[in-house]
A = this chain, B = another copy of it.
């Protein structure tokens, strides 16, 4: 496995892959890898000739006061995991090369970036789109892999790729959960024991929504009310948002129909966690 820090060296390797006619898969990450990331890596290994995993904790997607400084970092462990999977290249660019002094260019996917998580994190998706576009330009992947856990991110990146005429297939893979239902997230590491228990309310409220929908409920407001009640019954939780939206424009639905995204963000103590479920109604 090749560990590359330099952008120029990365581009040179891609050039070699291309000369040999190899297809390229890319899994952009911020490190602190878990089984969710590894499911993306395995899919890339299975569907492309060469897999590049990027590890870069992207300051542009953290607002002042968010957890950029504390965000968990364990590069040695990450590299060990990726080596075991058989990844071809780990790309670990330096901050000063990605955002050199005087850096000024940002990509925005209007409307979508302002909804759901965008309400409490107004510059988050601009940061995500910008780093992902830069990585795409460096790596020129045929396919890139993202988790359904970050549903809004995946929808925005698919739109960005389509709008900017990039020939990159964005594959979105299912949420990976612990046995108790908690969606895997690097930020779960912040949770104390009692918080970890409280955090189960996210997935439980989604299962409740699924059950109501399966039983025929189609009123978004009724489903939201029950989800809110369930989460508020658990001490130490604070709802950032619970929204039931269409999964293309991310606009709130009154009556559930077609492709529905039930998405939520909840603070457990000081840790903000997200989770979602997507349901297709006929």
| Chain A count of residues within 8 A CB distance of the other chain | 26
A168-199 interface (Cβ within 8 A of B): none
Of B7, B11, B104, B160, the residue contacting A105 (CB under 8 A) is: B160
B104 touching A134 by the CB < 8 A rule?
no
Q: How far is the CA of A195 from the CA of B155 in the complex (A)?
A: 51
Of B11, B105, B109, the residue contacting A167 (CB under 8 A) is: B11
A residues whose Cβ falls under 8 Å from a Cβ of B? 7, 11, 102-112, 129, 133-134, 137-138, 159-160, 163-167, 249
Residue among A105, A111, A129, A159 facing the most chain B CB atoms (10 A cut-off):
A105
Residue of B nearest to A15 (CB): B167
B108 touching A137 by the CB < 8 A rule?
no
Of B106, B112, B138, B249, the residue contacting A165 (CB under 8 A) is: B138
Residue among A112, A133, A249 facing the most chain B CB atoms (10 A cut-off):
A133
B109 touching A164 by the CB < 8 A rule?
no
Can you list 14 A-B contacts with CB-CB less than 8 angstroms, sorted by A residue number?
A7-B165, A104-B109, A105-B107, A105-B108, A105-B109, A105-B159, A105-B164, A106-B107, A106-B110, A108-B108, A133-B164, A134-B164, A134-B165, A137-B164
B108 touching A106 by the CB < 8 A rule?
yes
Q: How far is the CA of A167 from the CA of B10 in the complex (A)?
A: 13
A64 to chain B, nearest CB (A): 17
Of B7, B112, B137, the residue contacting A104 (CB under 8 A) is: B112
11 further interface pairs, Cβ-Cβ under 8 Å (given A105-B160, A105-B163, A108-B108) = A102-B249, A104-B111, A104-B112, A104-B163, A105-B109, A106-B107, A107-B108, A133-B164, A134-B163, A134-B165, A137-B165
A141 to chain B, nearest CB (A): 14
